[in-house]
Amino acid sequence: ALTPDDLRDVGASIILSNTYHLYLRPGHERIERLGGLHRFMAWDRPILTDSGGFQVVSLGDLRVVDDDGVTFRSHLDGTLHRFTPEVAIGVQEALGADIAVAFDQPVAPTSPRAVVTDATERTHRWAERSLAAHTRTDQALFGIVQGGIEPDLRAASTEFIAGLPFDGICLGGLAGDETPAQRDATLDIAVPLLAADPRPRYLMGLGSPADLLEAVHRGVDLFDSVLPARVARNGQLWIPGGRLNLRNQRFLDDPGPVQEDCPCLLCRRFSRAYIAHLFRAKELLAYRLATCHNLTFTLDFMDRIRMSIRSGTFPADMPELRLRAGREIGSEGAEKSA
RNA sequence: GGGUAGGUUGAGCAGGUGGUGAGCUCAGCUGGCUGUAGACCAGCCGCCUUCGGCUAUGGGGGUUCGAUUCCCUCCCUGCCCA
């Protein structure tokens, strides 16, 4: 729903493109003919493409996994497709992102140990094949750690992936059905093993402010998540110390901005009453404005974290850290702060 | 004034031509959403002490063992004709 201009407005410096959709439509060959993703979408800043592993697995009954790859049926037109590590890398090279990601097999974090073991070993073999298939020297390639929430499997996977010549290390297989405590414990196993490693540590999938803060505190450098955008489309706006559910009737009479000091278009120009109206009217503008706001909020939040780290005061000046045990950032009533 | 169609839980409806009206869509409320199968999903949504009970089909009367249904009358709304 967002254009590159929207993303520049909210201050995005790197974006992730949905490889799965780009592969199915309009097709990676076409994008390559048109000059690659940067020219195609008029975005001159960094782009990271996911391998498609997560998307393919999320298809559920529409896919079959074997040791060589994944066969899946397009949810768009029912056509059959075959993804292997080699195909996934080829597609990403054609798209021309700055960072490509190895093809992996994520499973639910709390899956039975045998399932996690299987998927993790397969992911390791696919990681080696992804590296072997990668030929572009102007494109970084990140490897993905699996291992679920099993301490020994996670540790072994971290060491295996870190032992390969990737440009960055993704921590995958989280942001699923694990509890926050299980997630924290898993990070505390994996990240220390990478402590002396200069390569970026990228936690795949997490996006709530509390999750970001918690993971940064544990040593993660990079994130991506649909949460700020999806939650925004569903009517929830993040503001400091709280959140607003725009579907609540009371906002129809609220002439104030969503967030007083927010630089996003929604907050600069429109009222809570107007955005609440747009949601009720199911106007597409509602989803776009709301998404811009939550992305602005998230990026500002990360800015604060970076400044805090640079000034050496992190995490002491991030009182939200204590919220983990209780309620998440954004779960407090908004009226109190309004 | 005459005719006609109606009056069902906040709104709009479905149903019901004598034997259990709490069914739908909005609206409303709550929760969920995390490497994107987009604007979604789930629950609640008359009252109560909730494995259950009670009350509800515009008001009143009548017929009947029994009326939301049939009859009478009144009120209200839309439309048509004067």
**pLDDT for the residue A325:** 37
Question: Residue A33: pLDDT above 90?
Answer: yes
Is the C-beta of residue A208 closer than 7 Å to nucleic acid chain B?
yes
Predicted pLDDT at A1: 61
∠ Cα A305 A308 A309 (to 5°): 90
Residue nearest to nucleotide B37 (CA to C1'): A75
Q: Give nearest nucleotide to A48 (CA–C1').
A: B35
Nearest nucleic acid nucleotide to A103, CA to C1' distance: B35
Which DSSP state fits A240?
T
pLDDT of A248 above 90: no
Q: A286: which residues sit within 8 A by CB, 6+ positions away?
A: A246, A275, A278, A279
Q: Closest nucleotide (CA of A229 to C1')?
A: B36
* Span A51-74, pLDDT tens digits: 999 987 788 778 899 999 999 988
* Distance in Å, residue A32 CA to nucleotide B4 C1': 70
Least confident of A17-21, A46-50, A263-267: A17-21
Does A44 participate in catalysis according to the annotation? no
Kindly report whether the global pTM for this prediction surpasses the value 0.90: no
Q: Is the CB of A173 under 7 A from strand B?
A: yes
Query: How many Å apart are CA A45 and CA A264, to the nearest integer?
Result: 20
Q: Which of residues 142-161 of A touch strand B (CB under 7 A)?
A: 144
| A7-11, A138-142, A167-171, A324-328: the lowest-pLDDT one | A324-328
Residue, of A213 and A19, whose pLDDT is higher: A213
In the annotation, is A68 catalytic?
no
User: How far, in Å, is the CA of A282 from the C1' of nucleotide B80?
Assistant: 39
Q: How far apart are CA A64 and CA A131, in angstroms?
A: 23
Confidence at residue A58, expressed as pLDDT on a 0 to 100 scale: 81
Q: Which of A104, A211, A224, A254 is catalytic?
A: A224
ipTM over 0.85: yes
Local confidence band at A281 (pLDDT 50, 70, 90 cut-offs): confident
Give the range among A4-13, A108-117, A198-207, A322-331 with minimum mean pLDDT.
A322-331
Q: Look at A45 and A62; give whichever has higher pLDDT.
A: A45
Is the pLDDT assigned to residue A337 strictly greater than 80?
A: no
Residue type, A35: G
Q: Which pLDDT does position A336 carry in this prediction?
A: 29
A242: CB within 7 A of chain B nucleic strand: no
Spell out which residues of A between 29 and 58 contact strand B, using CB within 7 Å. 50-51, 53-55, 57-58
A326 pLDDT band (50/70/90 cuts)? Answer: very low
Chain B nucleotides reached by a protein CB under 7 Å = 27-41
- Given pLDDT bands bounded at 50, 70 and 90, which one contains residue A22? confident
Higher per-residue pLDDT: A333 or A221: A221
Q: Measured in angstroms, what separates residue A281's CA from nucleotide B4's C1'?
A: 37
Please tell me the predicted confidence (pLDDT) of residue A11: 86
Using the CA of A142, give the nucleotide whose C1' is nearest: B35
Is any atom of strand B within 7 angstroms of residue A62's beta carbon? Answer: yes
> What is the model's pLDDT at position A241?
81
- pLDDT at residue A301, rounded to an integer: 93
Please give the full DSSP string across A210-232, using - where no structure is assigned: HHHHHHHHTT--EEE-SHHHHHH
For chain A, percent of residues with pLDDT exceeding 70: 94
Q: What is the pLDDT of residues A140-198, one digit of tens each?
A: 999 999 999 999 999 999 999 999 999 999 999 999 999 999 999 999 999 999 999 99
Is there contact between A75 and strand B, defined as CB under 7 Å from any strand atom? yes
A184 neighbors A213 (Cβ within 8 angstroms) = no
Q: Is A20 near strand B, with its CB below 7 A from some atom of it?
A: yes
Residues 96-135 (A) near nucleic chain B, CB < 7 A:
101, 104, 106
Q: Dihedral sign, CA of A167, A301, A275, A257?
A: negative
pLDDT at residue A122 tops 90: yes
Q: How confident is the model at residue A322 (pLDDT cuts 50, 70, 90)?
A: low
